[in-house]
Every structure is written in C-alpha cells, then in structure tokens.
Amino acid sequence: MSSHTEIQTFIASFENRLAPVEKRIGEAWWALSTTGTEEAQKEMIEAGEEYNALFADRDEYKQVKAWHEDLSSLDDSLLNRQVEVLYRTFAGSQGDPKVLGRIEELEAEANAVYGNHRGTVGGKEAGENEVREILRASDDESLRREAWEASKTVGREVEETVRELARLRNRLARDAGYRNHYERALDLQDIDAEELAGIMDRLQSETDAPFADLKRTLDRDLGARFGADTIMPWHLSDPFFQEPLESTDLDVDRYFADADVEDLTRRTYDFLGLDVRGVMAQSDLYERAGKSQHAFCISIGREYPYDVRVLANAQPDAYWTNTLLHEFGHAVYDRHINPNLPYLLRTYSHLCTTEAIALMMGSLAGDPGWLREITGVPKQELDADRKRLAERKRAEGLIFTRWTLVMYRFEQLLYEDPDRKDLNDAWWDLVERIQLVERPPGRDEPDWAAKIHVAVAPVYYHNYVLGALIAAQLRDHLETYVTHGPFYESEAAGRYLLESFFGPGARENWRDTVLRATGEELDPAHFIRSIG
C-alpha cells in the first residue's frame, strides 16, 4: 500500500512533464488542421512521439496500475479520481513504441489527406460545402450523382491507411489482453460494452417503425421531385444521410440567408451569461484552401487561462449555424472548468458529457423559440412553419439515430477483421438495413473510409449517442426545475451548467455527473420521447 504523499508526489512530478507536451500536441494538431502542410504534419508526428514517450516507462505504469487496483484503500475522493484518470491515460498509451509511432504517422497522414482532398464536380474541385450545396438545392440528377460520388473519392485515398491503422490498433489491444481495439477503447473510455449494446439495440428497435415511415414519406417526396422510381443516395441532402434533411416544402436555410452566424452564436451564449468572445478571437471560422473541412473544438493544454479554439468553415445556412452552436458548446465547457482543480481533472467529465452540451446547443438552430428570439424570424412566419419544424426535429432525431447505429456496428466489424475483403459490401449491407438507403448497382468502393472518424477518431460515435440521451435528459431537467421555460433565454441555465457540468470538470465519472446534474441515472426514455 502506498501513502497519499507518495501518490501525490508522483502525480505532481508527472503533471510537470505532461503539461508542456499536451500543449505542444494541441498546437501541432491545430497547425496541421489549419494549414495541412508537410511541415505541420511532421510536427504533429514528433509531438505525438514525445507524448507517447511520457508513458514508455514500464515501471511507472506498473506503479500507477497497482495504485488503481487498490483504489478502495484511498479515502480521498479527489486523489482517488486522479489515480483513475491517470491510469486510463497510461493504459491507453501502452504498447510497442514502434507501433505507437507508426500510428502517429498514419493518423497525421490521414488527417492531411482529409483536409486537403477535394473531389471533382463538373471538371472543377469541389469541397464539402460545395457538395452539400449541390445536394441541398440542385434538381440536376446527374450533377447530384457526380457530387455524391466526388464526396466519396477520399475513401480510395485513405482506405489502406485506415486498414493499417486498424491492424496496428488491434495489435496494441491484443498485447494488452483485449480481443481487439474496439473492446479496449470502450474499456478505457469507461463504457460498459453490454450496457452500451443494450442501449443501441433499444434505440434500433424503438426507431425501426417510425424511421421506416419517415423514409417512405421522404422517398415519396423525393420521387416526385426528381421523377425517380427508386431513391438513390445522391437524391438525399447529405452524403451519408446523417445530417438534417431539407424537405421540399420547408427551406430552413432561408432563416439564415442574411444572418451573421458568428454573431448568432455569440448572442446565444450571451443569453446564457456565457461569454465566448475570447474563444472566437482564437478561432478559425471561415473556409479557405489548405484547412480541414471538418469542424472541431480544441483546448490547447490545461493551463489557466484556458486556450480554447474552434475550427469551422461557416456559411449562412442551417447546417453551419447548428455546427457553430455545437462546437461552441464544447468550448464553453472547456473554458469554464474550475482552474483550481488538480491538473489531471481540468477537463470534461467524459466525451459523452461534452457531446451532450454540444448537441443540446446545436439543436437550437431548428428551435422555433430560439429562431424568434435570437435570429429574429417573424412570428407569423414561424407560426406557419411550426408544425413542419416539429416534424423536422423529429426527423433529425430519427436520422441521427440510424446513422450512428451504422457507425457503431460497422466499426465493430472493422476491428473484428481489418483485412476482410468484403468491407465495402459490409458497409452497404448496414446502410441498406439500418438507413434504408439503396446501394448504387455494382458499386464496390470504400465509402466507409470517406468518414474521417473511422481514421482519426475511432470508436467515438457511441459518445454522440450517449450525448444525445444526456442532452434530452438535461434539457428536460433545466426547463422543468431551473428555468421553467426555454433554457436558452435564461442566465439561470448558464449558472446551473457552470456549477453542475462545467465547473466540476473530471472530478467524478460521467454517470455521477449525469445523476447529480439531472437528479436521475441515464434514462434513454427522454430522448425516445423527443423523437416518438
């Protein structure tokens, strides 16, 4: 048994080594995402290698593991939690240094490809915004098909890289005593695999019938629009059928056509008493050549004052309004963690809790009350649209759920056997069965590899699902017991989030955070009711 003093001394020493390396790797990721240069890619690899080297001492890992196995002997909850977080961090970084280094190289290479790749439409390069606009607005079926196919061409470039990453991650997992990387990743994320499987199975069964009804209606409307007997992927308004769809009779983009979405985001958080101006000043919010096409929020290290940044490619439409609100939801969480917490606990409680805030905030882009109060859409216009907005919100929840189920089940297949030759078919089998989207005849392309998460954010999508469940439960609690009305209109909601979610950081696990902040354990019923 080790004394508290021994553990505290080790943690203090390790934090001093960890802090500058975390800052370096954050800066390197930001540079790579905003420039995509070979120099930035090299720096990302070197920073990753330095980070891995921190955890290379096997004796230190054994010591931390021993402390973790003896947590019951610690009567200091704050120290107990630091040991738990430190152990998971160490355990996630164990393995053959050559394998870890190679993973860093491949992830940096993949990220650069995703950032720099542009498909070709009409003989010209087209980024994700251009593809999204074609799929949203064009009635030219041949152009739509060309745009959809262009959005998948990055998959060919990175397929072998992603397969190799899966092989290497599996190798580390087996060396650590797991069947594969998927199993290891869930364990290190403090996610019970059986509990998660139960949630996902319930969501699938609960949405089978309503989603089938939605898809039949959508297919009927799209068939009439395009004169098509069979609805194909390029008839849909998103390349993966994952985002809010635009129906033929409700154009939500018109609400934002003349809007400054950055200002809308700022004012939304002002209503909550949460200032995002400092984050905005550090961010990179508009499209240009060389930068990543994929939005994200990042906290550079954990030293106060916190350096939090958002990357986006904002345009005045519903998609990017949702995205900015979402990413700044992550940002206000990161920005308002209590700086008096120990260094290791100055982060969100869990990936799913930060996703909960981001998803709750992003959903406001389709909320009639928010559209009236923040965006200034005339009441008469909203009254005319209210029923269709409610239908659209329900459709978003159903579409989101079915897409996340595809990702959840596909990554399990990928890590069971990264070398299987029928991955392309396996992907489309899931898409057809779960999303009810018909595969193009004869198509045999690695469309699954076109999704950036598979390469550089593996085994992550379940956190969106848990986040959506928590978001629904949290909003119910806020509006029932705290604000007694729309949470986004009240500084009381902002203060509650500061105290119950943001401030405590990672001083407790995600289950306890949910219980304390909402008064009950996680219950999928809140989310299911919202899409029922």
Q: Indicate which CATH number applies to the domain containing 349.
A: 1.10.1370.30
Task: Please report whether residue 458 resides in a domain.
Answer: yes
* pLDDT score for 245: 65
pLDDT for the residue numbered 246: 57
Q: Looking at the structure, do residues 218 and 175 belong to the same domain, yes or no?
A: no
Read off φ and ψ for residue 445, nearest 5 degrees: -125, 150
Indicate whether 136 and 232 sit together in one domain.
Answer: no
- Residue ending a domain, among 126, 152, 180, is 180
* Token code pair at residue 520: 């009950």
Asked if residue 203 and residue 175 are part of one domain, the reply reads: no
| pLDDT for residue 528 | 95
- What single-letter amino acid sits at 85? V
CA gap 174, 183 in Å, rounded: 10
Do 168 and 207 belong together in one domain?
A: no
Neighbouring-strand partners of residue 119? 126
pLDDT at 244: 62
Q: Crossing angle for the helix pair 423-430 and 379-416, nearest 10 degrees?
A: 140
Domain that holds residue 319: 193-531
Q: Please say which residue of 153, 180, 207 terminates a domain.
A: 180
**169, 198: one domain:** no
250 in a structural domain: yes
Same domain, 343 and 394: yes
* Structure confidence at residue 56 (pLDDT): 87
Percent helix, strand, coil in the chain (nearest 5)? 70, 5, 30
Q: What is the pLDDT of residue 382?
A: 95
Q: Are residues 149 and 197 in the same domain?
A: no
| Residue 186, in any domain of the structure | no
Q: Are residues 340 and 259 in the same domain?
A: yes
The string of pLDDT tens digits covering residues 22-36 is 999 999 999 999 999
272 lies in the same domain as 129: no
Return the residue matching tokens 């720099």: 116
Handedness of CA 516, 519, 521, 522 (dihedral sign): negative
Asked if residue 155 lies in contact with residue 448, where contact means CB atoms within 8 angstroms, the answer is yes
Question: Would you call 310 helix, strand, or coil by DSSP?
Answer: strand
Neighbours of 381 (CB within 10 A): 13
Residue that finishes a domain, picked among 159, 180, 201:
180
Q: Is 393 exposed, middle or buried (0-12, 13-18, 19+ CB in 10 A)?
A: middle
Q: How far is the C-alpha of 117 from the C-alpha of 521, rounded, in Å?
A: 43
Tens digit of pLDDT for each residue in 353-386?
A: 999 999 999 999 999 999 999 999 999 999 999 9
Is residue 388 one of the residues assigned to a domain? yes
Flag whether 188 is in a domain. no
- Residue 172 is predicted with a pLDDT of 97
Is 414 within the bounds of a domain? yes
pLDDT of residue 459: 98
Asked if residue 187 is part of any domain, the answer here is no
3-state secondary structure (DSSP) of residue 446: coil
Residue that is written with structure tokens 């989030």 in the block: 497
CA distances from 76 to 3, 10, 12, 66, 372 (A): 11, 16, 16, 17, 49
Q: Do 210 and 78 fall within a single domain?
A: no
Nearest to 350 by CA among 459, 494, 180, 191: 191
What pLDDT does 249 receive? 65
Q: Structurally, how many domains does the chain consist of?
A: 2
Q: Are residues 131 and 56 in the same domain?
A: yes
Residue ranges in the chain whose pLDDT is less than 70: 1-2, 244-249
Whether residue 81 lies inside any domain: the answer is yes
Give the contacts of 78 (CB within 8 A, at least 6 positions apart): 342, 345, 507
Q: What is the pLDDT of residue 290?
A: 84
Q: For residues 373 and 467, state if they share a domain.
A: yes
pTM: 0.95
Q: Is the dihedral of CA 255, 213, 463, 288 positive or negative?
A: negative
